[in-house]
Structure 1
Amino acid sequence: MAESTDSTQQTVMSGWLFKWTNILRGYQKRWFVLSNGYLSYYRNQDEGDHSYRGSIYIHGATVHSEEPNTFSIISSEESYHIKTSNETEKHTWIAALELVKQDQSKIVSDVSLSGLTGRLRGKLQDLHACQKILEYHDRALQSSLSAIEVSSTLETIVPKIQEVNERAAEFRASTSALINACSEYLDLAQCQADKWIRLHQTGKQKRVWSVNVVALMRRLTLNKHEVSKDASSTANERSKVSSNSTDVDPGPSCSGVKKSTLLMYPAFAGRGKNKQAKTTDLGNTDPPDEDSKQTADTSVKIFEEGKSKGVKSQRKKQESAKSNPICPELVERRSRIPNRPPCSMSLWNVVKNSVGKDLSRVPIPLHFSEPLSFLQRITESFEYAHLILDKASDLKDPAEQIAHVAGFAISSYSTTPYRTSKPFNPLLGETYECDRISDFGWKSIAEQVSHNPPTAAIHCEGKQWTCWLDQTMTMKFQGQNIFFIPSGDIHLKFNCGNHYVWNKVTSTLHNLIIGKMWIDQEGDMDIKCFTNGFSCKVSFKSPGYFGGEPHKVKGSVYDKEGLTMLHLSGSYVSKVELVRISSRDHHSKHGSSCGEVIWSSHALANGSDKYYNFSTFACQLNEMESGIAPTDSRYRPDQRFMENGQVEEAEKKKLELEDRQRSARKGEEENHAPVWFQKQKCPFTQKEMYVYNGEYWSSKESQNWSRCPIIF
């Protein structure tokens, strides 16, 4: 961002703040300037406009305030963690940031409204054109009917009837076109009316909010003056006391208190941000005396030593979490994302010229996408892994264990009927990590390992199991349906040694042209344990054209001799039950009773249809975290814009990213080597696949991302 230096530049606010740099240096004093919708910072107040160290666009950012004297500004590209000298200064800055953010929102709303008006005018012109065509065909039909009335012989009536039929067909087609044009015009008009209503309500809220902010700032300013007076009077009293007590020997206890106070903070230094000494007055600009200089030097030395200890203690915590993840530190996560922006476009208009083609190569507008990448969608299939696979790892009965593996495989489709939006196609070299050791006991790393064909690989480690796969997805369009055809095997290995392999089934998007779109699964999933010879076949049943029970699954478990041991039944959106065969009662001592539920889904939250029908787990997948690789999907600016409802900005960023990678990979695609995966031949299936090389988590621990390509 190049800041403007002309006369129109307006500085809203400026001042000294403390910005978090890293775990070793902590908070550093920086000069911040809020101007023209951007918050920029400098090392010195005298630095010019072009010497800023960094800047963040306020309109696309969120401001969080959780602890005293600190607040965070988080955008899709970066985040600032800032500390102030007192609460008054903190609230003043937050109020200024919110005012700038609302001003920028008004500008964006005006631009989007003008675009909507132009589209509405175009739809009205289409409506007039359809009306003229309908009137023309109406006159032609009336003329043909009149010709029949005046005909007297059978020979002349027959061709006239044929002509009437043709005219009637043309009249019906033009009527249908007029109805569709009316529907599109009404939908767009309703969309614009809703925006006007929201803007009117927002304007009223802004006025009330502005009045409250002004009153709050006035109160905070008064409180600041009162606190300053109290502080000055307290300082005078202390100086009097110190002058009257020069004879008193302070003794060793005083220095001991100082050291213990300072040594409290290294325990928190490993966590990073907001745990600095409250006894230090960061806003004091008075020149220190010699004693205070010596104390400050000692404080810095002790604090720096504490930080290195904090880093080591943090690594010890991570290692202990891996070996004993019973009581790791829990992370508070979000439960929803912003609502989906309205869309009046039709997917049929986009794909109607691609009948029989591979739709993975057809550009789909972002209006039909959800703010998750394909790597995150694959990771979402592990939502129930800790509930099913952790239990399966303790089972001794091989039939019951493979039945639970089947339950896990089925659970990966639990939200698919409602998720009709397309995920973002990952860029070559894009990654996604999901570390849920603290609550679920597993962590995963995924990477887009190939562009032609588009292939994603993922590796997930649980308490007593490891799962990995690489997957390529092709799409075919036929009739009213789009078929999503996956290829690639899924591997699961328990620590006991049992190794399972299975395939995914075909997904079908229905009602592309007419009706409400929904997704169904169809086909057979074959699960095989190469260690003990047990197998399981699960059939996903389609309701068909004449109705029937949707989302139904049935399966059977077979021993190595091919004899049926167990049955599975249920629905891949709700639950799966395990049923034993009565003639096999001699196996019942190993576990389940008849009709035991081995998996049941979590209900979607009320109102989830407003934000892409995401589950709570899906809402957390794109939540920003610190320490992740620079190639992580959460850093994708187009995807972050999409999550925030800024579709036009997302489209522009998407094109920029794709053009940049297209020009970068010319001549290099054949030689591309994944960073975290490598090709190996599976000894069981004899197929080549991408497997994890075991280097990601050590690189994250040392924050060594030198091998990562620059893709965003």
Structure 2
Amino acid sequence: MSEAKTPTPTPPGDTYKGWVFKWTNYIKGYQRRWFVLSNGLLSYYRTQAEMGHTCRGTINLATATITVDDACNFVISNGGTQTYHLKASCEVERQRWITALELAKAKAVRMQAESDDSGDDFPSSSPRITQGGGSQNSEVQSALRTLSNKVEDLSTCNDLISKHGSALQRSLAELDGLRLTGEAGDKIRQVTERATLFRITSNAMINSCRDFLTLAQTHSKRWQKALQAERDQRVRLEETLEQLAKQHNHLERAFRGAAQANASPDNKGAAGPGKGEASDEDDDNEFFDAMEEAPEFITVPADPQFHKLVSFPLAAFMWGIYPRLCEPLAMNQESPSQELVPLKKRRTRIPDKPNYSLNLWSIMKNCIGKELSKIPMPVNFNEPISMLQRLSEDLEYHELLDKAAKCQNSLEQMCYVAAFAVSAYSTTVYRTGKPFNPLLGETYELDRKRESGYRSLCEQVSHHPPAAAHHAISDRGWTLRQEITVASKFRGKYLSIMPLGTIHAVFEKSNNHYTWKKVTTTVHNIIVGKLWIDQSGEIDVVNHTTGDRCHLKFAPYSYFSRDVARKVTGVVMDKDGKAHYVLSGTWDEKMEFSKVMQSSRGGENGTEGKQKTVYQTLKARELWRRNPLPDGAETMYYFTALALTLNELEDGVAPTDSRRRPDQRLMEEGRWDEANAEKQRLEEKQRSARREREREAASAPHDNYLALWFERCEDPITGEEIHIYKGGYWEAKERGSWENCPNIF
């Protein structure tokens, strides 16, 4: 690396390292970090010792912009997702970094362009992925590109040497033409000879490098073939070891199962003879090892004896009757969805989100510790739907309840209800915008009776604390109701959102009544960094009719965890505590369930305290999978296909419906300044209405507001004071009679 203050034509080394001060946040300010510039990537670590195991961040300079603030400060950004505000110890050190970064960026851009243009250099240019995690062609081509770039660097240096060498020789020739004699003339001739020798040597070096590159390209195919042979051999060895490990595991489990069957009459009876051949699915079953975030149990493939047991009649039930009860209806059966015709074609796009900038810290710095519902927030932090519409999005995967309603076995029905409870969070993974706080008396209807067989109604029944009541009923045999109060606290670095309230699902045919609560949502990097959302906590789905229970655990994100992110695990148990199904998956992608064939509980003297319960299960089957986002969702607030239709204008809805809210409508249209003004007007109108109610009932200890479509009562299941739908809304819609609706907009 050159020590000059300004960039020089001579390219620096491939790697440049050093200490630089990096801006972290408003609390800690600038912190000293170890930065490494290598191969067009700028990475940083807290200490030099972390270089071997923990990288704190990396920016690709090929797409980055480098700007200078003042004598010591400079900024590196890759377009918005990552920005490093850096400060060098002095101006000289800052200039060294700027020189190295600019040269590395130019080189990275050149390499990227060459990579795009060299796709047909080799006949087998399509990469062949191996377990090693790479491509045989891409690695060799990368090496050849690196060599080629080095030769180009040397060629550039050679051109500079030739240029400056020629000028030097001309100057020396002019000096020699002065016919200097004595010692001065000898020195000039000596310098001229050395300059000529240096120029000849540099040209020879460039030619040798070009010969080396040509030789490397000639032998590249041989290197690729040898490399692939080594990889194939390694894969064969890994597969052999995996088969041996599975066989060892199966033998060990079979031995334990036999010992337990001899010791327990119940197990002996369960292991009675069955019809059919042994299943070969054991070799395809996955082995789930113990995870740090799910310490309650371990699942392993069931013993072969249980595959014999389920061949018949249990296999006939699971693979014959079960799909007819719990999977989508067969083609030869009557399907309500085939008979229902949509009333109209729903929209698939909304206006793109404008690029408005706002200083979040100037608003949030005085709000630490306060409840989010009491903070006056501009629409810049919102998404153009209300909390009532977000609550209606819980029905995104209503098909799970449709399938559950067809199940005759309550334990299988529990699996689908638990999957529905998890699916409600899949829409939040990219949704960092805050929904509009509903006005008191605001309603939202979601009528999908013709398309999907259900109707949903939400009403804001309380303002402080904010509470919304929700009621949905389906022609396919289920009812869903809930009253959710959102408690939220801003903690400086993150925002915690705690939904309070119970969700009820009731199935008409079986009369099974399920309840569960929501987990905590955490929004990270509120002040500095990219916002991201995590769900954590535990859910108990309880069937109050049979006593069945499903315990779900949402593992919080951990930087040091080896487990998959956003993981959810659960166990379905009957009223006696016996496990029947194990659930696993992620709240943002999919959920699977496995039937438990046998379980064993650990004692108190395990190596890590209390031992974990081991469940032997059949092969996992998929319960639920998230629908892909629409095209261009990143410019439409990451809305799902359902969310895009929620604020679409419809005829005949109540005048209090969220679709008619003017500030929300203005925001959706991209008119944010007008939306902010309208939002302030609506909030002041709501405050005035509350003051008027307080004057009318001065003796009342609290707000005497009564909801229009819901009535307050005690829940017979949980004993909570809640609002339950009292009827009348859909009848009023049919009549077009909205005289009782308040004027809130």
User: TM-score band (shorter)?
Assistant: 0.5 to 0.7
The secondary structure found in structure 2 opposite 1:679 is: strand
| Residue in structure 1 matched with residue 640 of structure 2 by the alignment | 615
| Residue in structure 2 matched with residue 532 of structure 1 by the alignment | 546
State the one-letter code of the partner of 2:629. Answer: L
| Residue in structure 2 matched with residue 111 of structure 1 by the alignment | none
The secondary structure found in structure 2 opposite 1:533 is: coil
8 Å CA contact 1:331, 1:438 repeated in 2: no
State the one-letter code of the partner of 1:671. Answer: N
What is the Cα deviation at residue 476 of structure 1?
A: 1.1
Which among 346, 353, 366 is matched to residue 333 of structure 1? 346
Which among 407, 422, 437 is matched to residue 434 of structure 2? 422
Go from structure 1 to structure 2 and tell me whether the alpha carbon gap of 1:480 and 1:695 turns closer, same or farther (over 3 Å shift): same
| Residue in structure 2 matched with residue 401 of structure 1 by the alignment | 413
| Residue in structure 1 matched with residue 525 of structure 2 by the alignment | 511
Q: Deviations over 1:538-582 (max 9, x none)?
A: 111112132542211111111001111111000111110011112
1:698 counterpart = 2:698: no
Counterpart CA distance in 1 for 2:531 and 2:628 is 21
Same amino acid, percent of matched pairs? 44
The secondary structure found in structure 1 opposite 2:693 is: coil
Counterpart CA distance in 2 for 1:593 and 1:431 is 46
1:643 counterpart = 2:629: no
The secondary structure found in structure 1 opposite 2:716 is: coil
Counterpart CA distance in 2 for 1:375 and 1:467 is 15
| Residue in structure 1 matched with residue 565 of structure 2 by the alignment | 550
Which among 392, 414, 418 is matched to residue 379 of structure 1? 392
1:484 counterpart = 2:502: no
Q: Deviations over 1:122-163 (max 9, x none)?
A: xxxxxxxxxxxxxxxxxxxxxxxxxxxxxxxxxxxxxxxxxx
1:572 counterpart = 2:572: no
Gaps of 5+ in 2: 1-68, 83-335, 600-616, 695-702
Range moving further from structure 2, 667-676 or 489-498 = 667-676
Counterpart CA distance in 2 for 1:334 and 1:390 is 25
Q: Deviations over 1:56-108 (max 9, x none)?
A: xxxxxxxxxxxxxxxxxxxxxxxxxxxxxxxxxxxxxxxxxxxxxxxxxxxxx
The secondary structure found in structure 2 opposite 1:525 is: strand
Counterpart CA distance in 2 for 1:177 and 1:534 is 65
Go from structure 1 to structure 2 and tell me whether the alpha carbon gap of 1:441 and 1:593 turns closer, same or farther (over 3 Å shift): farther
What is the Cα deviation at residue 638 of structure 1?
A: 0.5
Counterpart CA distance in 2 for 1:691 and 1:176 is 66
8 Å CA contact 1:474, 1:486 repeated in 2: yes
| Residue in structure 1 matched with residue 535 of structure 2 by the alignment | 521
The secondary structure found in structure 2 opposite 1:401 is: helix
The secondary structure found in structure 2 opposite 1:697 is: helix
| Residue in structure 2 matched with residue 665 of structure 1 by the alignment | 690
The secondary structure found in structure 1 opposite 2:395 is: coil
Counterpart CA distance in 1 for 2:421 and 2:488 is 21
Go from structure 1 to structure 2 and tell me whether the alpha carbon gap of 1:579 and 1:658 turns closer, same or farther (over 3 Å shift): same
Go from structure 1 to structure 2 and tell me whether the alpha carbon gap of 1:328 and 1:604 turns closer, same or farther (over 3 Å shift): closer
Counterpart CA distance in 1 for 2:673 and 2:729 is 34
What is the Cα deviation at residue 326 of structure 1?
A: 3.2
Go from structure 1 to structure 2 and tell me whether the alpha carbon gap of 1:509 and 1:176 turns closer, same or farther (over 3 Å shift): farther
| Residue in structure 1 matched with residue 235 of structure 2 by the alignment | none
Counterpart CA distance in 2 for 1:179 and 1:366 is 32
The secondary structure found in structure 2 opposite 1:418 is: coil
8 Å CA contact 1:184, 1:344 repeated in 2: no
Q: Deviations over 1:435-470 (max 9, x none)?
A: 011211111010000111110111001120000001
Q: TM-score, normalised by structure 1?
A: 0.53
Counterpart CA distance in 2 for 1:343 and 1:612 is 13
State the one-letter code of the partner of 1:701. Answer: E
8 Å CA contact 1:533, 1:559 repeated in 2: yes
8 Å CA contact 1:325, 1:437 repeated in 2: no
Counterpart CA distance in 1 for 2:71 and 2:487 is 34
Counterpart CA distance in 1 for 2:518 and 2:713 is 21
The secondary structure found in structure 2 opposite 1:335 is: coil
Q: Name the larger-Rg structure.
A: 2
Alignment of 1:309-458 (within 5 A): 326-385=339-398, 387-458=399-470
1:687 counterpart = 2:734: no
| Residue in structure 1 matched with residue 31 of structure 2 by the alignment | none
Q: TM-score, normalised by structure 2?
A: 0.51
Counterpart CA distance in 1 for 2:446 and 2:71 is 50
State the one-letter code of the partner of 1:394. Answer: K
State the one-letter code of the partner of 1:629. Answer: A
Counterpart CA distance in 2 for 1:460 and 1:436 is 10
Range moving further from structure 2, 597-606 or 403-412 = 597-606
State the one-letter code of the partner of 1:675. Answer: L
Q: Deviations over 1:304-334 (max 9, x none)?
A: xxxxxxxxxxxxxxxxxxx999334532100
8 Å CA contact 2:597, 2:618 repeated in 1: no
Go from structure 1 to structure 2 and tell me whether the alpha carbon gap of 1:177 and 1:352 turns closer, same or farther (over 3 Å shift): farther
State the one-letter code of the partner of 1:413. Answer: Y
Counterpart CA distance in 1 for 2:594 and 2:491 is 38
Q: Deviations over 1:346-376 (max 9, x none)?
A: 4333212222221221111211100000000
| Residue in structure 2 matched with residue 466 of structure 1 by the alignment | 479
1:559 counterpart = 2:571: no
Alignment of 1:134-213 (within 5 A): none
The secondary structure found in structure 1 opposite 2:582 is: strand
What is the Cα deviation at residue 184 of structure 1?
A: 13
Counterpart CA distance in 1 for 2:362 and 2:731 is 48
The secondary structure found in structure 1 opposite 2:541 is: strand
Counterpart CA distance in 1 for 2:418 and 2:72 is 49
State the one-letter code of the partner of 1:514. Answer: V
Counterpart CA distance in 2 for 1:502 and 1:176 is 59
Gaps of 5+ in 1: 1-173, 188-322, 585-591
Go from structure 1 to structure 2 and tell me whether the alpha carbon gap of 1:182 and 1:559 turns closer, same or farther (over 3 Å shift): closer
The secondary structure found in structure 2 opposite 1:656 is: helix
Go from structure 1 to structure 2 and tell me whether the alpha carbon gap of 1:175 and 1:446 turns closer, same or farther (over 3 Å shift): farther
8 Å CA contact 2:340, 2:450 repeated in 1: yes
What is the Cα deviation at residue 343 of structure 1?
A: 2.1
State the one-letter code of the partner of 1:408. Answer: F
Counterpart CA distance in 2 for 1:643 and 1:704 is 29
State the one-letter code of the partner of 1:528. Answer: V
Counterpart CA distance in 2 for 1:183 and 1:498 is 54
Counterpart CA distance in 1 for 2:441 and 2:727 is 17
8 Å CA contact 2:536, 2:555 repeated in 1: yes
What is the Cα deviation at residue 408 of structure 1?
A: 0.4
Go from structure 1 to structure 2 and tell me whether the alpha carbon gap of 1:547 and 1:642 turns closer, same or farther (over 3 Å shift): farther
State the one-letter code of the partner of 1:352. Answer: K
State the one-letter code of the partner of 2:540. Answer: D
The secondary structure found in structure 2 opposite 1:582 is: strand
Alignment of 1:594-605 (within 5 A): 594-605=619-630
8 Å CA contact 1:538, 1:556 repeated in 2: yes
8 Å CA contact 2:596, 2:618 repeated in 1: no
Counterpart CA distance in 2 for 1:512 and 1:654 is 23
8 Å CA contact 2:580, 2:597 repeated in 1: no
